[in-house]
Structure 1
Amino acid sequence: MAIIERPASDTLTYSDMDAAVTATSSYGYLRRPVETTGWRSWAFTVDHKKIGIMYGVAAMVFFVIGGLEAGLIRLQLAGPEGTVLSADKYNQMFTMHATTMVFLFVMPMAAAFANYFIPLQIGARDVAFPRLNALSFWVFIFGGVFLNTSWFLGGGADGGWFMYAPNSDTPFSPSNGVDFWGLGLQIVGIASLVGAINLITTVLNMRAPGMSLMKMPIFTWMAFVTQMLLLFAIPVITVALFLLMFQRSYDATFFSVEAGADPLLWQHLFWIFGHPEVYIIVLPSFGIISEVLPVFSKKPLFGYPFVVFSGAAIGFVGWGVWAHHMFASGLGPISVAVFSVSTMAIAVPTGVKIINWTLTMWGGKLWFTTAMLFAVGLIVNFTIGGLSGVTHAVAPSDTQQTDTYYIVAHFHYVIFGGGVLGLFAGFYYWWPKIFGKCLNERLGKWNFWLMMIGMNMTFGPMHIIGLQGQPRRMYQWTEARAGEGFFNLGFWNLVATIGTFILGVGILVFLYNAIFQHRKEPAAPIDPWDARSLEWLTTSPPKPHNFDRTPTVHALDEVFHRKYEDVGEGDQHEYVLRTSLEDLVLEEERHADAHIHLPAPSYWPIVLAFALPIMAYGVIYTAWLIALGAAIAIAAMFGWALEPADAEPSDFDPPATGGESSSKELANV
């Protein structure tokens, strides 16, 4: 397959787009109602794009908090008999670090991309339930803030992010930190569950005409599988958290051995959720790089059906491997054998994806932008994490490695090397679509290499110190037991700590790029990467109603096939530019739909979300707060039910005569 490139001069900037639209439009862009302005336009919005941006900003704030917690952990372990943190503070720090990164950064950042791009990729004007979407975001915000207020009200949770019983019970953890942890995760879980129901309904019911399931972009597919996992996984962890809440607050005995209970109940419930959670974290990033690699390889994704079905297979098989986290708990040989086999089996669909990504690049015309570098970095680092994970399918090996830093190394190569690097590929790829400007590529490459070097310096040595026997939850190590030569724990712990701060510098470079340098960049062309999928068939940033005309889909990679004509013969494909994306967007505007209805903003989702942490404080301190929170929640639900669902239809109708409202005006409303 060959693509005849269009000349570099054939690009139209965002400003040029405004002028062209104003000059050629029959009546200009359709109007939106202006019920809110300023901060209220964000606080009360139900626009999936604004909610996606707010999800991303909030998740990045929690990412910084989690990174600071990681830095303190590594400072404590940089040298022998560290004194940066006490044993209790160290327990709190590694518990809250893991909790923050998993539940308050990676999951909501994936939700940010899903919220923003699923409707755009399937040709919809919004999600199925816009107000539920807003509720999901605000519940996440209040849940995350509630969880972190524990630092100021007696200390953070100290039982590890897995919170094994009976260690998480009151006799072993008498402070309120575990209560904040359990209740905070219940609140955040409501956000994930509501969001999952909303996005699943959106994908199944709101696809553009002609878009069958096998014409959906890969990111939408992987996000859809992720939402299905959330739909069934969140109730499991919610049950476990309810049991823990009643155990600690109301003297229940669900995990008390003296009452005849089995503490392994907690482990089973947690890991039935916990292993699908791994794929909840990495599948959205798999979808992102499956969008990035074809664009920057100038080729279609190799084996699209295999990538789709391998993602679905990962989601399905992921439910059958949870007990490999429990090989040291005495499950018995039959259970261990079964879960060893299932652990090996789940490597197969993951390997299929890696092969597909590699063959997508094979023979392609590779363009190593920052987004492409992060995508390739994901493949390399996730493969390392996958290979170390397969060793856990061998029960004797797993039993030896359990609770050592080898597990920490494996987990971070999967979660950071897989989930986080994929998210950064998405930042650089979709930034011009979201904000109309590209991130600086020179700073982006510094960002990439600092993160890659820092990550491998941090987590690579943990394989060595883990195999040397350093426990993963030991707050100090002594020089006398550090070993000698290449396997000296002191040397590798220091390397890991230095790597952590190099990684932190890489994150700071990204933040500088996103917050400051981004503003100095020129407006991006409307098609900066020669993209392939439907989200690019509108202005950058997109209009409030996404598309002037609901698109009709005829093929996978619809935008590519609209831009290029196949002039090859037989199995030989050669594509010639037929029309530019700028012309396609202008054509859509000229034939805009006559009526576009969007939901009106609402403040009731904020009020309802605010009630949840009040009730949670009530569980910890006084029942009066439970009553107050319940009253606020009931009032919010009544207010929500009684307000009109949509703004006045006339607000969305085109003017009777030609108008000249520009796309930039609309974007700034």
Structure 2
Amino acid sequence: MSEPVTTSPGRPVDEAHAEFEAVWGNPRGWRALSIVNHTSIGLRFAVTGGVFFVIAGLLAMMMRSQLAIPHHAFMTAEAYHQAFTMHGTLMMFLFAVPVLEGLACYLIPKMLGARDLVFPRLSAFGYWCYLFGGIIVTSSLFFGVAPNSGWFMYVPLSGSVYTPGINSDFWLLGITFVEISAVAAGVELIVSILRTRAPGMALHQMPIFAWYILVTALMIVVGFPPLILGSILLELERAAGLPFFDVTRGGDPILWQHLFWLFGHPEVYIIFLPAAGIVSTVLPVFARRPLVGYRWAVVAVITTGFISFGLWVHHMFTVGIPQLAQVFFSAASMLVAVPTSIQIFAWLATLWTGRPVMRVPMLWVVGFLVIFVAGGLTGVMLALVPFDWQVHDTHFVVAHMHYVLVGGMLFPLLAGLYYWMPHFSGRMPSERLAKWGFWLTFVGFNGTFLVMHWTGLLGMPRRVYTYDPGLGWEWPNLVSSVFSFVMAAGIAMVLLDFALHFRFGRPARQNPWDADTLEWATDLPPTAYNFASLPSVDSRHPLWVRPQLPRDVAEARCALPHARHGRRETMGCDPVTGVPREVIHLPGNSFLPLHAALTLAVVCCSLLFKAYLVAAVAAAVTVAILLRWSWENGAHPHAAPETHDLPEGLKLHSRTFDGPGLWGMGLTLLADAALFLSLVFGWLYLWTASPGFTAPAHTPLSATVVLGSGAALSVATAWLLHVVRRLKRDDERGLQWQLLGIALLGAVQAGGTAWLMAASPITPTGNAHDAVIAVMLGFLLLHGGLGAVLAALQAWRVGHRYVGAHAPYEPAVLAQLWIFNTGCFWVACVALMLFPAAFGGVP
């Protein structure tokens, strides 16, 4: 295969390392807070998630102690409800997804033969949002005002009437903050997988783990925004009185369940798929053969991701939904077992046809197979509506959930941590301590949750802090509680093993497991730049085919073997074929992500304590920091020093029309579209399902202003697309003034939307109908204003020669936002105009 890249004849390893270290090296001391390198960020995610896991585990032990015997007074009802809510919240939102995303951030560039993720500062920003959001949520425990309405925050229990304090606000603001991190990581991983693979690595040659992460990241981008919207709406109801879920004013509490489970059921597979990707990576290495049915496994992963979005209502079989919907979602819930079974059969066939070696990672893989299959079988049982009616909200569901999530995520995660432990530390894990940790955890887990199925069948409801004697629940609860401490001892043994490992572990050789993927071609532990030169790939198993590849990489015999130009570079590839298309230059270390996340944390804390003026000032500072951040992108000299030392036929990405920013903007807008369409869904749902959701007698909006604003937005978008077409012909005449004109039209649209919000006779606190209109107008105002500001910023950058025919791709990125804004504006108009009362007459 011909590749337009240059290679080096080789040079001493020390010389290459010194050159790259000068450009890529991580600072020490307090300046380490500015690090944006994916290796450091991934490890920070993993360690922080481990801390939250320990806190959640301690809360679980407290709950099991309370339930060990009837009428136990170890915890009060309020303390139990707070512990229950925080245990689920920490495990679901602050441990499972962030840790797996952190592992993906650490591994994906190394597996794909890249030097870093494509948006390093976005990764750092995501981590700081995760850390500060987690601290906000967890701090509520120490103040005694932790959320107490369940980790699913069902209304009206979580509303201001039944939870008048700030307990629920900690959850709503903190978790929304954390969700920003998840979506940012999702965008980062998708673009990196599609656009920064090693030369020649086509999609069908990607490591199987990358496929799992690609599908998972797409699910995050589409699946998390409904919960973000639901959290915003519930916080607006609690803080400002907008009645989205209040039946007396036209709202409906079932809307919260729809928005939550639109996120919540894909979340199960968002947690499971990366863990299954670990199994599909680890198992072939120790089976000593390639994964059986690679293509079938990829199809199964994609199918699982698709079907998972059609299952959310099976959590709501008991709320009174129509029987036809129950039939559909019951069938979909059973159908998802088919692609899952394909993956299990691929794993079993790989073991059957291979020569398995039972090392520590394989112990956890085998434990996963046993536990997850059992959890899948009870999942099929719960998909049957009559059975679900009997065991809904009992300990049977609790047991099933832990078999699927703990067995389906924690066991593969620990297999992966032991497998990649030499990569993190350069040392091998301890076989003895690791086996003790596995068997204590495996026996303790099954002793805890297998018995809990029986407790649930006996009728014990979940979320109760005590129970009466004589119901037959005493012995099952006592057995579960005893074994929960056995499991805790196993987890403690694992953590002890990890802690001792970094000091006393035996040094690992290069590729100690004889694995096949590129992450084992780096140093152990890896350098900040991963590869001194970027390897070319022509096989799905590069290290099995070319065992000498690590030496070729280290001696700079492959692509991009220099860093003397001062740029952080990695190769940009065609998303399908893997053929190199450009050189992507990456930003260096910066405090801007930390500062932006910190000011956002101030916004959240100010809203929490209703200091709205402070929140407004902090929000303005955040916007200023983000604009400063965006200024040093593209062709800015700090982002892209002089363009010499490029491979023949390739340009820097900022000199093309298809840089990673174009893909990042598109995926960010996909998440934004999911949020907007969830709002449209809420409008249509309330109109059809809530008897009190009726249009007021007055005319809510002026059709003249609406149409005028929409016309200005549409003309500006068409104008911007014309500007992009001219740039593609190297025509930049009048570019600065055209962008200023586009910004002015955007300001007209934003001003018109602001006038509608201020002057229209809507009463957002009076009824849900006007409340949804107000939120929709706020969405359009925010995006219209953003589009105008960014167009003006582009005009300014033209004046500094950061944008033009020589560096043309930024206007194309901005054009995507304007297209999105125009589409959302007219979709909102159509949604409202379907109901003539919203546009009762033209003034």
State the TM bucket, normalised to the shorter chain: 0.7 to 0.9
Distance 1:85 1:589, change over 3 A: farther
Which one is further off, 581-590 or 466-475? 581-590
8 Å CA contact 1:285–1:418 kept in 2: the answer is: yes
Aligned to 1:618: 606
Matched, 1:551 2:535: yes
Identity among equivalent positions (%) equals 40
3-state SS of 1:556 partner:
coil
Q: Gaps (5+ residues) in structure 1?
A: 1-20, 484-488, 564-578, 654-669
Distance 1:582 1:132, change over 3 A: closer
Tell me how far 1:171 sits from its aligned partner.
1.2
Matched, 1:491 2:475: yes
Correspondence for 2:39 among 46, 49, 53: 49
Letter in 2 for 1:373: L
Q: Give the whole-Å Cα distance in 2 for the aligned partners of 1:36 and 1:422.
A: 31
8 Å CA contact 2:114–2:198 kept in 1: the answer is: yes
Correspondence for 1:333 among 323, 329, 343: 323
Distance 1:646 1:309, change over 3 A: farther
User: In the TM superposition, what are the counterparts of 1:592-611 in structure 2 within 5 Å?
Assistant: 593-595=561-563, 597-598=567-568, 599-611=587-599
Q: Give the whole-Å Cα distance in 1 for the aligned partners of 2:191 and 2:94.
A: 24
Letter in 1 for 2:183: L
Which one is further off, 392-401 or 618-627? 618-627
8 Å CA contact 1:537–1:584 kept in 2: the answer is: no
8 Å CA contact 1:79–1:493 kept in 2: the answer is: yes
8 Å CA contact 2:38–2:117 kept in 1: the answer is: yes
Tell me how far 1:613 sits from its aligned partner.
2.1
Tell me how far 1:365 sits from its aligned partner.
1.4
Report how many aligned residue pairs link the two structures: 612
8 Å CA contact 2:11–2:555 kept in 1: the answer is: no
Matched, 1:503 2:487: yes
Distance 1:38 1:24, change over 3 A: closer
Q: Give the whole-Å Cα distance in 2 for the aligned partners of 1:305 and 1:27.
A: 38
Tell me how far 1:270 sits from its aligned partner.
0.6
8 Å CA contact 1:435–1:541 kept in 2: the answer is: yes
Correspondence for 1:271 among 237, 242, 261: 261
Q: Give the whole-Å Cα distance in 2 for the aligned partners of 1:277 and 1:267.
A: 14
8 Å CA contact 1:600–1:645 kept in 2: the answer is: no
8 Å CA contact 1:249–1:620 kept in 2: the answer is: no
- Could you list the per-position Cα deviations for residues 284-338 of structure 1 after superposition, in whole angstroms to 9, with x for gaps in the alignment? 0000111100000001001001111101111000000111100000002111111
Correspondence for 2:497 among 513, 525, 548: 513
Aligned to 2:577: none
Root mean square deviation, CA, Å: 2.2
Q: Give the whole-Å Cα distance in 2 for the aligned partners of 1:25 and 1:182.
A: 51
Matched, 1:219 2:209: yes
Matched, 1:175 2:161: no
Aligned to 2:275: 285
Tell me how far 1:25 sits from its aligned partner.
6.4
Distance 1:268 1:648, change over 3 A: closer
- Could you list the per-position Cα deviations for residues 23-79 of structure 1 after superposition, in whole angstroms to 9, with x for gaps in the alignment? 876755533237863233531111000100111110000000000110111010011
8 Å CA contact 2:20–2:562 kept in 1: the answer is: no
Q: Give the whole-Å Cα distance in 2 for the aligned partners of 1:437 and 1:46.
A: 25
User: In the TM superposition, what are the counterparts of 1:136-285 in structure 2 within 5 Å?
Assistant: 136-285=126-275
Q: Give the whole-Å Cα distance in 2 for the aligned partners of 1:123 and 1:31.
A: 16
3-state SS of 2:508 partner:
coil
Q: Give the whole-Å Cα distance in 2 for the aligned partners of 1:472 and 1:234.
A: 26
Letter in 1 for 2:391: Q
Letter in 1 for 2:53: F
Aligned to 2:21: 32
Distance 1:648 1:32, change over 3 A: farther
Q: Give the whole-Å Cα distance in 2 for the aligned partners of 1:211 and 1:583.
A: 19
- Could you list the per-position Cα deviations for residues 442-470 of structure 1 after superposition, in whole angstroms to 9, with x for gaps in the alignment? 11111111111111111111100000000
Distance 1:591 1:552, change over 3 A: closer
Tell me how far 1:172 sits from its aligned partner.
1.0
8 Å CA contact 1:290–1:357 kept in 2: the answer is: yes
Aligned to 1:465: 455
3-state SS of 1:157 partner:
coil
Aligned to 1:407: 397
User: In the TM superposition, what are the counterparts of 1:377-392 in structure 2 within 5 Å?
Assistant: 377-392=367-382
3-state SS of 1:453 partner:
helix
Structure-1-length-normalised TM-score:
0.88
Q: Give the whole-Å Cα distance in 1 for the aligned partners of 2:403 and 2:340.
A: 14
8 Å CA contact 2:364–2:411 kept in 1: the answer is: yes
Q: Give the whole-Å Cα distance in 2 for the aligned partners of 1:605 and 1:74.
A: 40
Tell me how far 1:615 sits from its aligned partner.
1.1
Tell me how far 1:98 sits from its aligned partner.
0.4
Which one is further off, 117-126 or 538-547? 538-547
Tell me how far 1:499 sits from its aligned partner.
1.6
Letter in 2 for 1:523: P
Q: Give the whole-Å Cα distance in 1 for the aligned partners of 2:370 and 2:321.
A: 34
Tell me how far 1:586 sits from its aligned partner.
4.7
Tell me how far 1:543 sits from its aligned partner.
2.0
Matched, 1:81 2:71: yes
3-state SS of 1:31 partner:
helix
Distance 1:164 1:648, change over 3 A: closer
Distance 1:589 1:458, change over 3 A: farther
Aligned to 1:641: 630
Which one is further off, 317-326 or 518-527? 518-527
Distance 1:478 1:29, change over 3 A: same
Letter in 2 for 1:624: L
- Could you list the per-position Cα deviations for residues 91-124 of structure 1 after superposition, in whole angstroms to 9, with x for gaps in the alignment? 1111110000011011111011110111111111
Letter in 2 for 1:273: F
Tell me how far 1:434 sits from its aligned partner.
2.0
Aligned to 2:61: 71
Matched, 1:347 2:337: yes
Structure-2-length-normalised TM-score:
0.70
Aligned to 1:538: 522
Aligned to 1:14: none
8 Å CA contact 2:27–2:35 kept in 1: the answer is: no
Distance 1:440 1:30, change over 3 A: farther
Correspondence for 1:103 among 93, 106, 123: 93
Which one is further off, 507-516 or 632-641? 632-641
3-state SS of 1:366 partner:
coil
3-state SS of 2:291 partner:
coil
8 Å CA contact 1:62–1:100 kept in 2: the answer is: yes
Correspondence for 1:373 among 338, 351, 363: 363
- Could you list the per-position Cα deviations for residues 341-400 of structure 1 after superposition, in whole angstroms to 9, with x for gaps in the alignment? 001100100011111011111032111111111111111111111000000111000111
Matched, 1:296 2:279: no
8 Å CA contact 1:440–1:518 kept in 2: the answer is: no
Tell me how far 1:22 sits from its aligned partner.
10
- The one of the two structures with greater contact order (alpha-carbon pairs below 8 A, sep at least 6) is 1
Letter in 2 for 1:619: L
Distance 1:113 1:210, change over 3 A: same
Letter in 1 for 2:591: Y
Aligned to 2:508: 524
Distance 1:480 1:24, change over 3 A: closer
Distance 1:527 1:41, change over 3 A: farther
Aligned to 2:3: none
Q: Give the whole-Å Cα distance in 1 for the aligned partners of 2:539 and 2:68.
A: 55
Letter in 1 for 2:286: F
Letter in 2 for 1:80: P
8 Å CA contact 1:295–1:530 kept in 2: the answer is: yes
Aligned to 1:630: 619
Distance 1:389 1:91, change over 3 A: same
- Could you list the per-position Cα deviations for residues 381-432 of structure 1 after superposition, in whole angstroms to 9, with x for gaps in the alignment? 1111100000011100011110000000000001000011111011000111
8 Å CA contact 1:233–1:272 kept in 2: the answer is: yes
3-state SS of 1:414 partner:
helix
